[in-house]
């Protein structure tokens, strides 16, 4: 299995390497106000891919913050339970063991 994974990784690498070698001609990207960028086509594709990853990750940041704050509030509720009234004769159950956070944060 280990060798199969290395073979798959090598195949992906050589495929991408061949793609880069076959797309060395210059490409021109035209921006607004007459601005342009000339670069090899493989760099243009790689830049577009990286920009897409960055925009996607930045788009998920507000949701990550929301989940992180909800996890912290849930952790605070578990750590500090509400006080039970004195008239209740049954002892309170022990707190749950410390568990890793739900999102690894």
Note the pLDDT tens digit of each residue in 7-59. 999 999 899 888 888 878 888 888 899 888 898 888 888 889 899 999 999 99
Residue of higher predicted confidence among 41 and 103: 41
- The pLDDT of residue 53 is 93
- The pLDDT of residue 27 is 85
Residue of higher predicted confidence among 46 and 84: 46
pTM over 0.75: no
19 Cβ contact list (under 8 Å, min separation 6): 42
- The pLDDT of residue 81 is 62
CA neighbours closer than 13 Å in the CB half-sphere of residue 69: 5
**6 vs 2, 3, 34, CA distance in Å?**
6, 5, 46
């Amino acid at each position: 299995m280990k060798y199969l994974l290395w073979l798959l990784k090598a195949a992906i690498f050589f495929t991408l390497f061949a793609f880069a070698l076959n797309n060395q001609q210059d490409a021109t990207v035209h921006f607004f106000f007459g601005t342009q960028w000339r670069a090899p086509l493989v760099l243009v594709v790689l830049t577009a891919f990286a920009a897409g990853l960055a925009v996607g990750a930045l788009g998920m940041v507000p949701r990550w913050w929301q989940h992180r704050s909800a996890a912290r509030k849930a952790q605070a509720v578990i750590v500090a339970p509400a006080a039970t009234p004195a008239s209740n004769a049954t002892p309170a159950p022990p707190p749950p063991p410390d568990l890793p956070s739900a999102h690894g944060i």
